[in-house]
Amino acid sequence: MDFHNQLQDDLVTAMKARDETRKWVVKMLKSAIQLAEVSKGEPLSKEEFLAVVQKEIKGRHEAHADALRAGRQDLIDAADAEIEILKTYLPTQLSQGELTSLVRQTIKELGASSVKDMGTVMKTLLPRLQGRATNSEASRIVKEELSKE
């Protein structure tokens, strides 16, 4: 089942269950995908769909941080709930150890030796992640590993 059908099915399920949070998140995600498809001029690939989901999660993390600074527990809880719903559209996330192992393997394959090679490593690594880790987390680990050498 492609992600359009899955989102539509999830929307119908949320509406039947009267789950307002899930309904809102699915509608928002459908809108973000439609916007991305219009700007691209063609349907999104699986990788691009995952990138949109990750972008939405990142936005919720920023909203969470803002709510934390403002001391608004209701907004913190709402952002956390939305993040959990969005995560259901991502593949199983890599553990810290698995991500570090994948980073080390990529560095070894490319023969990267300094932080100057970070761009090359990231360019090779990101397609391998396919939504199983955030770009910022991958970038942090690549930087750590290249700084060691």
Which SS3 state, helix, strand or coil, does residue 127 take? Answer: helix
Query: What's the whole-number mean pLDDT along residues 96-121?
Result: 84
Going by pLDDT thresholds of 50, 70 and 90, the confidence category of residue 149 is low
Can you give the pLDDT at residue 119?
86
Q: How many CB atoms lie within 10 A of CB 25?
A: 24
Can you give the pLDDT at residue 114?
79
Can you give the pLDDT at residue 46?
84
Find tokens 């080390």 and name the residue. 104
Q: Both tokens of residue 142?
A: 């690549």
Q: Which of 51, 12, 58, 3 is nearest to 30 (CA)?
A: 3
- What domains are defined for the chain? 3-87 (1.10.1510.10), 96-148 (1.10.10.410)
* Residue 23 clears pLDDT 60, i.e. is over it: yes
pLDDT tens for each residue of 53-101: 989 999 999 999 999 999 999 999 999 999 999 999 888 888 888 888 8
Query: What's the whole-number mean pLDDT along residues 95-122?
Result: 85
Query: What's the whole-number mean pLDDT along residues 120-125?
Result: 86
Model confidence, pTM = 0.77
Can you give the pLDDT at residue 96?
86
Going by pLDDT thresholds of 50, 70 and 90, the confidence category of residue 146 is confident
